[in-house]
Amino acid sequence: MNILVTGGLGYLGSHAVVELIKQKYKVFVIDNLSNSHIQNLSYLEKITGQKIEFLNADIRDKKKLDKIFKDNDISGIMHFAGLKSVKKSDSERGEYYDVNVNGTKNLIDVLNNTKKEKKYFIFSSSACVYGKPNYLPYDENHNVEPENFYGETKLEAEILLKNTYLTHEDWKIIVLRYFNPIGAHHSFLIGDSPRGKPENLMPNILSAVYPEKNKLKIFGSNHDTFDGTPVRDFIHVEDLIKGHVLALNFLRKSTKHVYEVFNLGTGEGFSVLQLIKSFEEVNGVKVSFEFSKKRKGDLPIYFSSAKKITKMLGWKPKLNLKDMCKSSWEFYKNKK
Ligand code: NAD
Ligand code: UD1
């Protein structure tokens, strides 16, 4: 079966390309390289041992999308392309809406216009659609009330997909709400390597490993948690991507049209300080850090219930916090 991976040269999408090829899917990749590097293409070819079909295209360019679907027999989309900075989503609302919402709508329209009997769609959503927790762990029935514009765009894309399901018998859709993916592929060739200054925690830890001159800024020391630093549900990127392929295989097996939402988190929370400590221990290094003021909008604590995805898809995380820290560091050293 032919699958289009949008954002397939980015952090999560590149891992999906590897796993889909391993599972014998025929993969087409599009990416506009706004937050990734073209070298990832050769790393993907090295890991998979095959040529990757890649097109530098923007998901907002409907003409190009039409052509890709006309030229290739694509039945499904794994949709990773998107803008993910919570901070920038506020100051660049137009761009975030255009990419995350209109871009998703284009992809739905283009797949819908094909004559494919069944249409498959897996969407990268985020735990931030839930907003402030009424209870923890968040399960998929928790009400959704995003606290930031990035979360609003993800929720709006989810609604577009739900409406597509409600009005079309031939669509099979899974929305995956990610918690905090970290770690890198075991080849250490691909990992989280954004353009510009990273905002997420792990890339900032990596660039603060002694003797690097940078210091990690820990945003707040007096959050309402056991050690004062925020608690997150870190999930290894390889486990996260296995969840996608299980989701796709589930859709292919089901006889009815489907719309399901699953959390993708381990169900276990660790604090920022615990992550740093584990990173230092497993890699035998020191991370320089200092406390700074709280980051606007950061929740003190959230983690996932993974019950639904375990029950329905048989997904279970296999890699632990140490594996996440080890692979992140090996990838970083390899890239330098
Ligand atoms: P990433 O930035 O590494 O990957 C996204 C890729 O999409 C990049 O390669 C970028 O160049 C590409 N892209 C961006 N805009 C595009 C456009 N208009 N047209 C074509 N390509 C475009 O991010 P990631 O961490 O791999 O995240 C993948 C998806 O998962 C995103 O949609 C993100 O919102 C979502 N997500 C990520 C996290 C996380 O912590 N990494 C958590 C929750 C949800
Ligand atoms: C946020 C979003 C999440 C989104 C993700 C993608 C919310 C509630 N969560 O996750 O949905 O998918 O961004 O970008 O909006 N930290 C530091 N110093 C740093 C960087 C981070 O102390 O330099 C701390 C943060 O305060 C946070 C934790 O590390 O508590 C994790 O931060 P980050 O990696 O940015 O992810 P989230 O904010 O949890």
Facing residues of 279 across strands?
none
Q: Which atom of ligand 2 is nearest to the CA of 182?
A: 34
pLDDT confidence bin for 297, thresholds 50/70/90? confident
pLDDT digits (tens, 9 = 90+) for 110-153: 999 999 999 999 999 999 999 999 999 999 999 999 999 999 99
Q: Give me the pLDDT at residue 97, please.
A: 98
Q: How far is the CA of 139 from the centre of ligand 2 (A)?
A: 19
pLDDT confidence bin for 213, thresholds 50/70/90? confident
Whole-angstrom Cα distance, residue 133 to residue 139? 10
Ligand 1 shell residues, CB under 6 Å: 6-7, 9-13, 30-36, 58-60, 80-84, 99, 103, 124, 126, 178, 180-181, 194, 200
Q: What are phi and psi of 204, to 5 degrees?
A: -75, -30
Q: Omega of the bond prior to 211 within 30 degrees of 0, cis? A: yes
Residues annotated as catalytic are 150
148 lines ligand 2 (CB under 6 A): yes
Whole-angstrom Cα distance, residue 289 to residue 205? 8
Q: How far is the CA of 176 from the centre of ligand 1 (A)?
A: 14
Q: How far is the CA of 217 from the centre of ligand 2 (A)?
A: 12
Spatial contact of 174 and 250, defined as CB atoms under 8 Å apart: yes
Whole-angstrom Cα distance, residue 43 to residue 222? 42
